[in-house]
Every structure is written in C-alpha cells, then in structure tokens.
A and B are shown apart, each in its own frame.
Chain A
Amino acid sequence: MSKNEKHQNPIARRRFLQGATALGGAAALGFPMISRAQAKTIKVGMPTILSGRVAQLGISSRNGMMMELDKFNAAGGLGGRKIEMVVRDSKGQPQEAARVSRELINSDGCEILFDCEASSGAFAVHEVARDLGVLCIHNISETSSLSADPKIRIPNAFRVTRQGVHDSIAGGSYAAAVAKAKGLRKWMTCSPDYAYGRDTTAQFAEYLKLFYPEVEMVGEAWPKLFQPDYTEVITKILQAKPQALYSCLWGGDLTSYIDQGNIYALFGATEFFAVNMADYTTLTAVKNLPAGIHSGNRYVKTFPRTPANAAWADAYRAKYKDYPTNWSWEAATGMRFLVAAMKKTNSADGKKLAEALRGMKIESPFGADGTITMRAEDQTTIGYAIGWGTTISKEPYIPEVKAGDWKQILELELDWKKRNNYL
C-alpha cells in the first residue's frame, strides 16, 4: 500500500489490528484449553445404596473403592487423566437404580458404570448397560445367574464379587465335614423369606446332602426380612431339637436372632452354621457372641493370613475409623481390575477395556493364592479367598479359617451350570 492509501484507509487498518489482536488473544487463551482437554477426567458412574437399612453397603463399598482410586489418581492416573467417580444413591430401589444409571451415562458424562447395587438393583443396571453398550463392572451382586446365565450375560458387563454357588459349595463341603465328624444328621434351616434367603438356603442344603447324604432336614423356618422378634421361630426350633441349624440371616437380623437365641440357650443345644456371621459389623454388634458358631468369611483380616491383607484392613480402619466389610474388598478389587485394564490398554475406551479384562489375572490381598482371576468365558471372578471357621467372642473373632478347595468348587460349579442348561 502507498502512503496515501494507508492514510485514506484508517478504518481498514484499525479493523485489521483489532482482528489481529483478537486472534492473538484467542490463541493465547486457547492453549490452556487444549492442554485441559488432554487432561480430561475419566468419569465413572457408581449407582449404589447410601440410605435406608442397607446404607452400609454403599458406604463401605465406596470406601473400599476410594482407597484404590486415590492410589491411582495420586500416581498420575492414566497418562495425566484422573478418574472422577460420580456416586448416586438409588435408596435400594431397582427402578431408581436404572434411572440414575441412565442419567450417569446420558447426562453426567460418565463413560463407565461401576455398579455397587444389591442384586435387585444390579440386574436393573445390567439392562441399562446392555441397552447403552457401556462397560459395566458389578461389584456387589452375588447372584450366580448374573454371569452364569447366557441369556443374561453381555460382553460389556463383568462381575467382581464372591458368588452364591461358590459359597454354597464351599459351605456345604465344610458343613458336611463337621457333620460327619460330630454325627450331625438332624438339620433345620432358618433364613429370611426373600429371594436371597430362599435361593442361598436351598443351594446350601443341596450341597450339604451331596457331601453327606445321611443329612435329614427336619424343618424350615422363614421369618420375614427385618422381622424384629424371632421368639416363635426359636421356640419352634427348640421343639424340633435339630442337631445343627443353618441360617443366612445377616446384619441386624442375625444380631437380634443371636441375642434372642442366647436367652433360650439355643446355641448350647444346636450347632449353628451362619454363613453371614463373619462380618465385622455383625461380629462387633453382638455383645454376647457364643463361641463355636460356624461361619463363612465375608471379610476377616486374618484370612488370607498374609501381611498384605492385614495391612489393607489396618489402612481401611485408619482412614475410615470403621471395619471393612465384604462389600469393601469387592469394590476395592473391582477398581483394581479397572485401573489394571486401563494401564494395560493405555485407554479408557470401554471395548478395549473389556477385551483386556477377559481372562485378566491381578495380584490381590484377597486372593486365595495372592491373585484373583477374571474368568473369560462368563466374565466373573474366581480364586478369591473363600473359607469357613468358628467364632470366638473377641478379636480376631475367627482365629482359624479352613480354606475352600477351588478345584472342587470349579468342578461342581461346572456341573451346576450343566444341570441348569447354562452351557
């Protein structure tokens, strides 16, 4: 431009300068935006129960999960990308669990579902995962059909928990051994009258009879879930005089049942097998815990008897001023699997993570041999510490736990699947 034209076009020059400044400003401001996008958090949605009777389920599973999550994020996350957990309370209602799961994915920007719902909610979340195709890890539901039934199973859902059928086989085997040794042939059951109570009790009885055919079930009692008074159930059991009694009552119900059974001297007359006894919440709540109650391991610090397990329990106790629960170790393991898959694939993409999870074996303080495996064919965990022992009334509560035989468990599980046409 000639000198004359520049003078004749001040507006054009001003506009050019304004434009250049704006562009420069945007460029300067834009750079941080680009780097923030590179450090975008990976949002994971966690539907769970944080209120009501089973609030401890959500609270303790969130605690267990957080311990693993904090470690991962503190170490820098996935190449600078940290996991952000979005937790929602379904209040124990399956329809609410389905609703919040959908919202987590569709509105809250979550890419993965970390399901910590009880069984009824878990099945609802499972259908949301099927519908939306997102990666879903179930961390609480122990109902075997969630992974065993091919009609229910989906390639993007995994389960990291103990399993009903495994516990029944291990429990039945242990109980049969005790029954044989002590000649306990007359048995009764007393379990809460809902799906979990009915299914678990039936399965236990099936395997007990398999290992010790001389067992005779002389009666069953089915109190309502959360029933406050068990007097009529206890007196009925006293009348029938069984040599052994099985129950899958849990939490406050089991505590009340033991308190009420104690004053009837029920446990002096009958050998008691309570699969859910060895849970610190219940063990510490019962003030006069009778010695010699047989229980499966929900979570105990002394099983596996390893420094790693003890250290984890101590760290949990120090951080949350409470004992860990079965749900705590399950959620911690679920998070450990998730971050292991992310590290292996260097990705947060659901499909890649699912591919990595199938057949994955991780180190775990809760593994029977120090490891836990995500079985590829039905996408559920095996190899976790499983066993039974008897109680004493103070720490460590269950000093000796007899470990279940995984070879036997897997053989009989296969047989169970065949009988149910799951293969």
Chain B
Amino acid sequence: MDPAALAECLKTTSCVVTQVTSGLIIGMLLFLVAAGLTLIFGVLKVVNFTHGSFYMLGAYLALSVYKVSDSFSLAVVCAGAGVALFGLVFERLFMSRVYGSNVLMQLLVCYAFILILDDAVKLIWGAEFRSMGMPAAFQRPPILLAGGVVPAFYLFLIAIALAIGAILWLVITRTRIGKKVRAAAHNPTMTSALGINTGLIYGAVFAAGGLLAGLAGALAAPVRSMAPGMGVSILIESFIVTVIGGMGSIGGALAGSLLIGLIRSFGSIGFPLFTEGIMFLFMAMVLVIKPSGLFGKDV
C-alpha cells in the first residue's frame, strides 16, 4: 500500500496525464472485447465463453497478414473480417443448436471450442510465443502532453476504439438493422412473427461480436506477444467489465472498461500489490448494490 505515492501523483499534472491516458488505453482495448461479449449476451442471452479465443484468432490472423503484406491496416481489416466470418459460422453451425438447452450445455460447447481453437493455433502457428513488432509508422518517440508521456501508437488506438464504439452505437440506435437487432433482443418471438429472419440476426450479432474481438486482438498485436491460450486472461477481464457495466449494455461496457483501466493505472501506484484485488472488490460491491450492473436493466 502506498497512498502517499498516489497522493503525490495526483498533485502533479504530468503524472495525472500519463496515468489517465494509460488507464484509457487499457480501458479502450478492453472495451472492444467486452462490447462484443455484452452485445452477444444482450441479444442472444448467451454467455459466449469463446470470446477470448476470438481475440486470440484476431491477433494471429493479423500477424500472418502483416508478415506477407507489411501493411498494418490491411492486417487489422483482414483480422476483423476473418473473425467475424468465424463468429458467423460458429453461431450458425454450433451455438444455434444449444440456445434452448441448459446453460451448462452452452458452456460446454464454448469450452470445447476454446480447446479446439488453442490446439488449431498451436498446429498452424506453433506452440512457441510469437511477436508482431511495431509497424514502422508508429516507431517514433512518445508524445509529451503537459509533461505526461503518451505513446503515439496508443493515442491512435484510443481514437480507433472510440470511433468503433461510436459506429457501433450509431448502428444499434440509428439504423434499421439496429432496430431489428434491438427488437430481436426484446422479443424474439414477435420479431420472428413479423417476418424478420431472426436466425440471420443472431448470426450477424455473433459476427459483430467476433469482429470487435478480432479487431481488438489485431490492434493490440504490435505490443503484446501471442501464444496459444492467450484468450483466457482477456475473457476474465471482459467478464468483470460486463458484470460491472451491466450485461447487455454497451454504454455499461464502456463505463466498466474505463473504470477498470483507471483502477489498474492509478492502483499500480497506490496499491501495487492489490490492484487485481481492488478490481474484484469493486465488482463484488457492484453485485451487492446493483446486481444487474451500473447500466444494466433490473431483472
């Protein structure tokens, strides 16, 4: 515990700027993953435990495309598209069969795919860890903002993640397809009775979730090494975010991710040995005070 160091940091602008942006970057990448998870739950009422593996697939696809094309933007786009396609196929062929079943069955299907995907990645890319490296465009010294240190690449990531979040919000609230998705989430029977192909909607939602997780994996690839099984830690953190923010609420996912990001960045100074503990403590508090999450709908 080092509350003195934390107080010291909060007094200096440079420290606050560095820590806030560091919290933002942790939060925004987490938001992309958690948004997909919460979207799938909100519409399909299914907890997609394979979500961490979507993130892993995105990272590896980006690695391979970057290796052959040397273009980071192409790598990100292909990774997102690839995982979106996988999400669609996964939903149509496997998850759709267990919607009516016991949640344990859904969990089993997802867990089976975690294992299958981990082994597939091992077969294709090898068991040893891999690293993409920073694209040349971002190999520059960090930007100094009011004395605080902010890497150029992270500013770019924050901007991209915010843009993706904004597009997602616009699609859900302002477009026809978004209206259909919200209708299917609210009342699938009625929606289907109105002649809307709910099966396609469900597939599209899973594809969207896959797209978000895949993009997150690809965007983080330049700075995070990848290895089979890397999806687990991301999955657990996204669950904490969705529980805090409210399952099914994208705004909640944003709030939850930013909160987690700031807890981690400031916690690392003030409570370095207990940062994880604080995260879980916060989640427990939210569960006690508002079980449906900060922005979740009361059941």
Q: Chain A residues in contact with chain B, CB under 8 A? A: 51-53, 55-56, 59, 220-222, 224, 226-229, 231-233, 235-236, 238-239, 251-253, 255-256, 259-260, 262-265, 281, 285-288
Contact = CB atoms under 8 A, between A and B. Distances in A.
A256 B22 contact: no
A288 B15 contact: no
B22 A286 contact: no
A220 B273 CA distance: 10
B18 A235 contact: yes
B127 A56 contact: yes
Residue of B25, B129, B133 ringed by the most chain A CB atoms within 10 A: B129
B269 A236 contact: yes
A232 B268 contact: yes
B133 A55 contact: no
23 contacts: A52-B127, A52-B229, A53-B229, A56-B127, A220-B272, A228-B224, A231-B265, A232-B23, A232-B267, A235-B22, A238-B149, A239-B18, A252-B225, A252-B227, A253-B225, A255-B131, A256-B223, A256-B224, A259-B133, A263-B142, A263-B152, A265-B142, A288-B139
A226 B233 contact: yes
B268 to A, nearest CB: 4
Interface in B201-233: 220, 222-230, 233
Nearest to A254: B225
A52 B228 CA distance: 7
A39 B1 CA distance: 66
Contacts of A262: 134
A262 B131 CA distance: 14
A229 B269 contact: no
A288 B139 CA distance: 9
Nearest to A286: B131
A222 B153 CA distance: 25
Contacts of B268: 221, 232-233, 235-236
Contacts of A251: 129
Contacts of A264: 142, 149, 151
A239 B267 contact: no
Contacts of B152: 263
8 shortest interchain CB distances as A-B pairs: A287-B133, A252-B129, A263-B151, A232-B268, A55-B127, A252-B225, A255-B225, A285-B131
A203 to B, nearest CB: 20
Nearest to B21: A235
A257 to B, nearest CB: 9
B18 A238 contact: yes
Residue of B22, B23, B267 ringed by the most chain A CB atoms within 10 A: B22
Contact of A228 (B15, B127, B131, B234): B234
A260 B269 contact: no
B141 A265 contact: yes
Interface string B125-138: 00111111110001
A259 B131 contact: yes
Given A255-B129, A263-B223, A222 B272 contact: yes
Nearest to B264: A232
A263 B269 CA distance: 20
Contacts of B22: 231-232, 235
B154 interface: yes
B50 interface: no
Contact of A259 (B19, B222, B269): B222
Given A222-B272, A229-B26, A259-B225, A288 B234 contact: no
B9 interface: yes
Given A56-B128, A222-B272, A251-B129, A285 B138 contact: no
Nearest to A261: B223
Contacts of B153: 263
A281 B129 CA distance: 9
B275 interface: yes
Residue of B22, B142, B223, B233 ringed by the most chain A CB atoms within 10 A: B223
Nearest to A237: B268
A172 B233 CA distance: 34
Nearest to A322: B128
Contacts of B132: 287
A261 B261 CA distance: 18
B: contact size bracket = 35 or more
A260 B223 CA distance: 5
A59 B127 CA distance: 10
A239 B276 CA distance: 20
A51 B228 CA distance: 10
A255 to B, nearest CB: 4
Contacts of B139: 288
A230 B223 CA distance: 10
A59 B122 CA distance: 14
Contacts of A224: 276
Given A224-B276, A235-B18, A285 B142 contact: no
Contacts of B222: 259
Given A259-B133, A263-B151, A281-B128, A222 B273 contact: yes
A228 B33 CA distance: 14
Contacts of A227: 233
Nearest to A263: B151
Nearest to A259: B223
Contacts of B229: 52-53
Nearest to B136: A288
Given A263-B138, A263-B153, A263-B223, A228 B230 contact: yes
Interface string B111-122: 000000000001
A227 B264 CA distance: 13
A239 B130 contact: no
A324 B152 CA distance: 36
A101 B132 CA distance: 38
Residue of B139, B154, B224 ringed by the most chain A CB atoms within 10 A: B224
Nearest to A193: B273
Nearest to B270: A236
A198 to B, nearest CB: 12
A126 B170 CA distance: 62
Contacts of B133: 259, 286-288
A263 B137 CA distance: 12
B258 to A, nearest CB: 14
Contact of B265 (A232, A252, A286): A232
A288 B138 CA distance: 12
Contacts of B141: 265
Contact of A287 (B9, B131, B275): B131
A55 B123 CA distance: 13
Contacts of B142: 263-265
